[in-house]
Amino acid sequence: MNSTLKAILATVFAMGLASTVSAEPPGKGGIFKPGTYKHADSQEEIQKLKKGYHYALVCMECKSVTVKEVGDEKDVEALCHEGGTLHCDSCKKKVTIKHSGPPGKGSTSKKITYVNEEGKECMFVVPVKD
Ligand SMILES: [Zn+2]
């Protein structure tokens, strides 16, 4: 698991380096730059994503990183809606959003994991900030 994560993060960093030499103009939320990007694992952290921000969906199933831009708050809601699903753009696998953590309605400190059909964590979200 840890070695898989390291391999994936290495890919993220490699993409960050690649983006600095591309002609892509900087987005509102920034582009990948060399540095460390930590995954958001709680509803609170995911809800910090605002319109125009970039985030990476990292799929452990196919070891891909898909960079997306937040269109509106519905996109953010879709990333943390309990029981909702996301699809990997690369391998098209379906992942289910699972909440865990302190009970109570409206709590934003719930941990969020993205699990596959076997209930195994298989995706995570990495916000890309300046
Ligand atoms: Zn995938």
CA geometry: angle 85, 83, 45, nearest 5 deg: 85
Each domain of the chain, given as residue ranges in start order, spans 2-128
Identify the burial level of 38 via C-beta atoms within 10 angstroms of its C-beta, where 0-12 means exposed, 13-18 middle and 19 or more buried: exposed
For residue 68, how far is its CA from the centre of ligand 1 (angstroms)?
Answer: 14
User: In degrees rounded to 5, what are phi and psi of residue 72?
Assistant: -155, -175
Residue 49 to residue 70: CA distance in whole angstroms:
7
- Centre of ligand 1 to C-alpha 20, Å, is 25
Tokens for 1?
């698991």
* Average pLDDT along the chain: 84
pLDDT at 17 over 80: no
C-alpha of residue 118 to centroid of ligand 1, in Å = 15
Inter-residue contact 109 to 22 (CB < 8 Å): no
Ligand 1 center from residue 105 Cα (angstroms): 31
Q: What is the pTM of this model?
A: 0.72
What tens digit of pLDDT does each residue of 57-105 get?
999 999 999 999 999 999 999 999 999 999 999 999 999 999 998 776 6
How remote is the CA of residue 104 from the centroid of ligand 1, in Å?
A: 32
